[in-house]
Amino acid sequence: MGFLQTPLKFAGQRSLEDAPPRRMLARYKDPSAKRPPLSALLLGAAGLLLLLLPLSSSSSSDACGPCEPAACPPLPPRGCQLGETRDACGCCPVCARGEGEPCGGSGAGRGHCAPGMECVKSRKRRKGKAGAAAGGPEVSGVCVCKSRYPVCGSNGITYPSGCQLRAASLKAESRGEKAITQVSKGTCEQ
């Protein structure tokens, strides 16, 4: 027989017939121990599953229960500066997030950006180095204006972006002033 064809032997074993595996395992088995019936094992597993099921659904960031508008938290008394949007479940009205504010993620960091903005995820956040690992709410991105060029407002002021013009317009309207509109792209001619 060649090297690869020799059968394996246990330490101290003279031949393969000396120590069959069954005989070796019998030494470690407790003869007084009885196996529980299969029904008891299945019942125990089902009970454990029922206990863990609520924990998994409540920890899931995407789990939304039935929409109950009466349970929604109230909006600020003065309204939302950048307008309203719906929460992650699409149920409750929430204030839209502005430029530089956290968006996406879960918990308190979750939010939707105002119109004209998008939620941009940074590499650092994607790798999980921020947010939950740092002890804070998990945040997956920051609201950034889609248009990143200056615009001229109807009030003669140049704004760094259309989003900042819109924010200034909403702020003016909340004070009872006239809304600011975009007159042109680029800086205002003076």
Q: Residue ranges per domain, the chain?
A: 79-145, 151-185
What CATH number was assigned to the domain covering residues 79-145? 4.10.40.20
107 contacts: CB under 8 Å, gap ≥ 6: 61, 137, 138
Q: Which amino acid is at 57?
A: S
Q: How far apart are CA 182 and CA 159, in angstroms?
A: 9
Q: List, for residues 53-83, the tens digit of each pLDDT value.
A: 444 433 334 567 899 999 999 999 888 888 8
Q: How far apart are CA 169 and CA 83, in angstroms?
A: 11
Q: Are 98 and 82 in contact (CB under 8 A)?
A: yes
Q: List, for residues 4-19, the tens digit of each pLDDT value.
A: 555 555 555 565 555 5
Q: List, for residues 97-143, the tens digit of each pLDDT value.
A: 988 888 886 554 567 888 888 888 875 544 444 444 444 555 578 98
Q: Are 150 and 186 in contact (CB under 8 A)?
A: yes
Nearest to 88 by CA among 70, 59, 71, 109: 109
